Amino acid sequence: MMPVPLRLASLGFASLLAGCTVLPLPDPPRYMDLAPPAAIPTFEQALPVSLRIGTPLASDPLDNNAIVIKPSPYEFQAIPGARWREASPVVVRDYLITAFRASDGFTNVITDTSPASSNITLVSELAGFHVQSLGESYKLVLSIHLNMMEERSRESLCVRNYVSETPVATIGLENLVESFSQSADTFAGQAVEWAYECLEAVAAGT
């Protein structure tokens, strides 16, 4: 027979379990990505360049995988239930790599984590990759500073600030990701063209 104190403890534990409610597990977040670039210029002749695309520098809250809305000049919020598949700077870097390779304008295009050699690096700083509230309406802000750098000398060959502000009809998740994709596509096309013209001029000595 079970000793009385142990039997009482067992009954108390069973009563405690009977009073507990099993909480439902929250739904896992949706992991989103940008649509593939579509408006990328292509070139008949590739420049003899091995181009490394660096991951853009960024600070919180852009330096993580939250999909960010700025409801006021003083506050950032993350859209609940959804995330980018990677931190925003990595998403932008991977998108640029895809766009630069699709242009056929450069002999080689590699990521900053590749052990392969390169002679030019695209350095960048991501200052805006979010949705901004304008009272009753919204706009998508993409702001990035680009610096084409010669690796051996660390010399800046070309520099450009890119800022775009695109109206957003609604802030439903699918609509937002589509707006991010369209804005990124426009940016990537201009970045590719700017980089090609920059390095073509450097090669020509102008």
User: Residue 58: how many CA atoms within 13 Å on its side-chain side?
Assistant: 24
pLDDT in tens, 115-163: 999 999 999 999 999 999 988 899 999 999 999 999 999 999 999 999 9
- Helices of type H across the chain: 4-18, 88-102, 173-204
Distance (Å, whole) CA 31 – CA 34: 11
Spans of all domains in the chain:
34-204
Which three-class secondary structure string do you get for 30-80?
EEECCCCCCCCCCCCCCEEEEEEECCCECCCCCCCCEEEEEEECCEEEEEE
pLDDT of residue 4: 45
Q: What's the Cα-to-Cα distance from 116 to each of 89, 106, 112, 136, 156, rounded to whole Å?
A: 21, 15, 9, 49, 21
Q: Which pTM does this prediction carry? A: 0.86
Asked whether residue 14 carries a pLDDT value surpassing 60, the answer given is no
pLDDT 10s digits, 191-200: 999 999 999 9
Instruction: State the Cα–Cα distance between residues 27 and 80, nearest whole angstrom.
Output: 11
Which distant-in-sequence residues (6+ apart) come within 8 Å of 124 by Cβ? 54, 56, 57, 92, 144, 145, 146, 147
Q: Round to whole Å and give the CA distance between 12 and 16.
A: 6
Kindly report the CATH class assigned to 34-204. Answer: alpha beta
Q: Are 69 and 133 in contact (CB under 8 A)?
A: yes
Sign of CA dihedral 52, 202, 142, 107: negative
Q: What percent of the chain has pLDDT over 70?
A: 87
Assigned token pair, 184: 């990124």
Tell me how crowded residue 93 is: count the other CB atoms within 10 A of its CB.
Answer: 22
Phi-psi region of 80 (alpha: psi -120 to 50; beta: other; left: phi over 0): beta
